[in-house]
Structure 1
Amino acid sequence: MTTVKYAAEIVKELNRTVDLITEEETEVLVDRILEAKKVFVAGAGRSGFMAKSFVMRLMHMGFNAYVVGETVTPSLEKDDILIIASGSGETKSLVSMAEKAKNLDATVAVVTISPDSTIGKLSDLAIKIPAKPKAGEDSEYKTIQPMGSLFEQTLLLLFDAVILRVMNKKGLESGVMYGRHANLE
């Protein structure tokens, strides 16, 4: 198969996966983001990269949005939301964050393959991305891609769709966001 044909197959997989995401769950996430004082996002590995891109867009819209673990990240408080991106929902460092956030009475949301995971059970909201787990487990969701690629790509698309929905609900245009874009590059 050629590179372009691989890309076309990846797009087909993404379409199938996005069609299976529950609209009601994503709308709740949008509303929780709009209600929060601060938005914190965490993820490990490639999921963490997707989470960082989401925080960047939230910042462009004027939200107090932070990546957990950065030196400029403030304290999480009661009226805040922690959004965790974790395919397995079992990453130890992320489980620990979810537990701490619950103890602080913050809202916890997870975007995951496994809503019944440890993080899923700790969360106030779990959005399922129906994708194949990284390794070991059989899955009804098939992919030609290695490891967690389908989850991570869908995560980026979902986060970008959440941004568009938040923009829509706040009546924001893209042009306004450019004023907050980095200018020291």
Structure 2
Amino acid sequence: MAGPELQVPHLDRIIGELQQTAGRISGEQTERLADRILRSRHIFVAGAGRSGLMMRAFAMRLMQMGFQAYVVGETVTPGMTRDDLLLIGSGSGETKSLVSMAAKAKSLGAALAAVTITPDSTIGQLSGDVVTLPGAPKDRTGEAYVTVQPMGSLYEQTLLLFLDALVLRLMEKQGLDSQAMYGRHANLE
């Protein structure tokens, strides 16, 4: 006879934190970002560290929806023009390499958007569209949001879930379903 199933330590707390953060994301900001993406010829995404991984996952879904989406820094990423969008995921909004990238995109006349904890950051101020995600910055200075998780984990998880929700909104706006997206799924695996 099997005993009671063991719970995964801390998982309930993490899920609870994610439910709290999800309830604090602006639908209006999300809608503006979705519309900006739909108006863009190419969508470039960037982020550093784990945030960068979340942005890469988003680029994959955009590609599967038929968007011309690129991860900045990849060898197959084309040049940016004024009809394009650079979307940066950065909790602090102050990562030096991303700040430089944001400034360059602006100098090219491209649209710039950010998904960040700190809309008043350098990247946030440069961006035409900003989605503010609740979370604890990695350095935890001036922290107003308490989390059991280390460093930027809460932001990074919220970023991934937010971007997945944004994918669903873009699918709705384009009349797409998952079946239509499978035609663009990688097939050399």
TM-score normalised per structure 1: 0.97
Q: Which residue of 2 aligns with 1:91?
A: 95
Q: Distance in 2 between matches of 1:136 and 1:105?
A: 34
Query: Over residues 116-148 of structure 1, what are the superposed CA-to-partner deviations in whole Å (9 max), with x where a residue is unaligned?
Result: 001011110111111111124132211100000
Matched, 1:118 2:127: no
User: Could you tell me which amino acid in structure 1 is paired with residue 130 of structure 2?
Assistant: A
Matched, 1:178 2:182: yes
User: Could you tell me which amino acid in structure 1 is paired with residue 118 of structure 2?
Assistant: S
* Bigger radius of gyration: 2
TM-score normalised per structure 2: 0.95
1:22 pairs, out of 14, 21, 26, with 26
Listed as ranges, the gaps of 5+ residues in structure 2 are 1-5
Q: 5 Å matches for 1:22-61?
A: 22-61=26-65
Identity %: 60
CA RMSD of aligned residues (A): 1.0
Query: Over residues 70-91 of structure 1, what are the superposed CA-to-partner deviations in whole Å (9 max), with x where a residue is unaligned?
Result: 0000011101110000010000
Secondary structure of the residue that 1:20 maps to in structure 2? coil
Secondary structure of the residue that 2:57 maps to in structure 1? helix
Q: Distance in 1 between matches of 2:14 and 2:179?
A: 31
Query: Over residues 136-175 of structure 1, what are the superposed CA-to-partner deviations in whole Å (9 max), with x where a residue is unaligned?
Result: 4132211100000000000000000000000000000100
Instruction: State the number of aligned residues.
Output: 184
Q: Distance in 2 between matches of 1:7 and 1:171?
A: 35
2:105 pairs, out of 76, 98, 101, with 101
Q: Which residue of 2 aligns with 1:157?
A: 161
Q: Distance in 1 between matches of 2:66 and 2:96?
A: 31
The CA deviation at 1:3 is 5.7
User: Could you tell me which amino acid in structure 2 is paired with residue 84 of structure 1?
Assistant: I
Q: Which residue of 1 aligns with 2:15?
A: 11
Matched, 1:143 2:150: no
Secondary structure of the residue that 1:14 maps to in structure 2? helix
The CA deviation at 1:5 is 4.2
